[in-house]
Amino acid sequence: MFLTKLEIMKRIFVGEKYLLQALQKDPEVKNRDAWKIIEQLERKPVDIIEKLNNLIDKLVQQMDQDGLEKLKKELDKNLKEYQSIIDLLEQDGVIMEKRRKAIREFAEKAKNLRNEQDEPIMIDRFHIDCLRPIAYEMRLGEEVYVTTEELPTLFKRGEKDAIRIEPGEFAVLTTLEYLYIPTDIVAFISIRYGYKERGLVNVSGFHVDPGFYGKLFFTVYNAGPSDIVLKYRDRIFMIMFAKLGRRTEAYEGKHKGQIRLQPEVISALRGTSVSVRNLDERLKRLETIVYVLGAAILTAVIAIILKIFLG
């Protein structure tokens, strides 16, 4: 059974509370400017989270339509307030690395959890605009690789912020989000429909194992007739969460904790793909060569014949 938007939010904010508490205990974080600003806020982040969880519980139980609309407005107000805190934290690279460290530490501890409480879904760089009725939309991350390039592209502020995937080309895309999947959840991932209808196809895995943590990598192929341009932070991917009957063993594969594209991934895909477009271009070049050579040969033959007959 897939989690609904409210159920996803509930688990995310359980995770956010844990991450905030982990940051509060870190002496280095306390000296960061972003954290000092947050500590001066009238409403503390943990208090906002408690309010959000309380509102979510009320929305699940609310049957009256008028009461429902009132609760939704209050929920939206608190979500926006908490999002402003996330936006502030995201400006500090040290704090964001501390958040990822806290996710890794929780994931390792969660392997030994035996209580009946639901584990949190943790999404670093979480954004409220990415929440959907039964999914969360993930954004394009800082590192991408198109197979005709020598090296991956790194998006940097103020510099290149888009890539072009030509018809017949493969690419490896990373998510902006670094996440943790609980051991009682299996996640299903896909490309959003708007990109699929332009020909972008996901040719890598379609699920994320329980207990996985790290960024997600998508190997994609442009099966369409035109170039596809993707921009940094575009909402390209979607992830849905399906609850299992019980906790299971956590993922222990080689992709655990991944952040950067590895050299073996790049070397395995580098090169020009064989596609209809590439074959057509090669055929046109061959036709041009044949035409030029044919014209030259014909000119030479005519010159020889004229020389023979005219002495």
* More confident call, 169 vs 276: 169
The reply to whether 127 falls in a domain is yes
Provide the mean pLDDT of the chain: 87
The conformation of residue 70, written as its DSSP 8-state character, comes to H
Q: Are residues 241 and 144 in the same domain?
A: yes
Residues 281 and 212 in one domain: no
Q: Do both 166 and 263 map to the same domain?
A: yes
118 domain-assigned: no
Assign residue 125 a region: left if phi > 0, alpha if psi is -120 to 50, beta otherwise? left
- Whether residues 181 and 45 fall in one domain: no
C-alpha–C-alpha distance, residues 104 and 212, integer Å: 10
Two structure tokens written together for 275: 């596609």
Q: Are 301 and 226 in the same domain?
A: no
Instruction: Calculate ∠ Cα 57-62-66, nearest 5°.
Output: 130
Mean pLDDT within 303-309: 70
pLDDT at 283 over 80: no
Q: Which tokens in the block code for residue 2?
A: 């897939």
The CATH number covering residue 252 comes to 2.70.40.10
Same-domain check for residues 132 and 263: yes
Total domain count for the chain?
3
- Answer yes or no: are the C-beta atoms of 207 and 177 closer than 8 Å: no
Tell me the mean pLDDT in the region 167-192.
Answer: 95
Q: Other C-beta atoms within 10 Å of 117: how many?
A: 7
Task: Work out the pLDDT band at 279, boundaries 50, 70, 90.
Answer: very low
Look up the domain containing 263 and give its range: 123-269
Do 283 and 308 fall into the same domain? yes
What integer pLDDT is reported at residue 196 of this predicted model? 94
Is the same domain home to 282 and 199? no
- Please say which residue of 75, 110, 145 terminates a domain: 110
> Which of 110, 142, 171 is the last residue before a domain boundary?
110
**Is 187 contained in some domain?**
yes
Q: Are residues 280 and 257 in the same domain?
A: no
Whether 169 and 257 share a structural domain: yes
In a domain? residue 164:
yes
**Could you tell me the pLDDT band of residue 271, with boundaries at 50, 70 and 90?**
low
| For residues 54-60, average pLDDT | 91
Q: Quick one: 202 and 134 in the same domain?
A: yes
Q: Is residue 104 scored above 80 in pLDDT?
A: yes
Whether residue 116 is contained in a domain is answered as no
In a domain, 257, yes or no: yes
Both tokens assigned to 61: 């139980």
97 within a domain of the structure (yes/no)? yes
Look at residue 115 and tell me if it is in a domain.
Answer: no
Q: Are 228 and 164 in contact (CB under 8 A)?
A: yes
Does the pLDDT of residue 212 top 60, yes or no?
yes
Residues 134 and 219 in one domain: yes
